[in-house]
Amino acid sequence: MGSGHSRFPARAGIPIIVAEAGWRRLIRRPEAMAARAARAAGTFATLVLASDAEVKRLNARHRGRNRPTNVLTFDPAAPGLPGEIVLALGTVRREAASEGKRAAHHFAHLVVHGALHLQGHDHHHPGDARRMEMAETRILRRIGLPNPWRRA
């Protein structure tokens, strides 16, 4: 990632890297929202707020999919180290708009989604997907955000 990053030493030790300045235009104080969602989900992963191009590159390298996705998670490199949650600005912006959601709410949902992946949750099978959706809804409700699975 380039030299234009800013690092926000979030409370509770959650490192947040704003690698794409556009996040601050999309969401007021994205670092605070990301830290709040991550703490509610019980994760202390490093959060990287990146561009679609960066997420596309990571997705191609690590998952063999040459396209951006909304969120990628990476398990810790070693025991005791944090995992990593990487979000793609353009994809998050487009999804929020197409779903009629506030960008900040969709963003918080994806931080929680990534945190749950790092905790071992998955959504490849219908039962697993339903359990993950219910966990996301409970966590977001605790921080005063709406159910992400209801249409706006």
Write out pLDDT tens, residues 121-139.
888 888 889 999 999 999 9
Calculate the CA 64 to chain-centre distance: 20
The pLDDT score that the predictor gives to residue 126 is: 84
Q: How confident is the model at residue 2 (pLDDT cuts 50, 70, 90)?
A: very low
**Backbone dihedral angles phi then psi of residue 55, each to the nearest 5 degrees:** -65, -35
How far CA 20 is from CA of 8, 26, 56, 62, 139, in Å, comes to: 13, 11, 14, 21, 26
The CATH number assigned to the domain with range 6-142 reads 3.40.390.30
**Backbone dihedral angles phi then psi of residue 73, each to the nearest 5 degrees:** -125, 145
Which range among 2-6, 86-90, 109-113 shows the weakest confidence by mean pLDDT? 2-6
Write out pLDDT tens, residues 48-99.
999 999 999 999 999 999 999 999 999 999 988 899 999 999 999 999 999 9
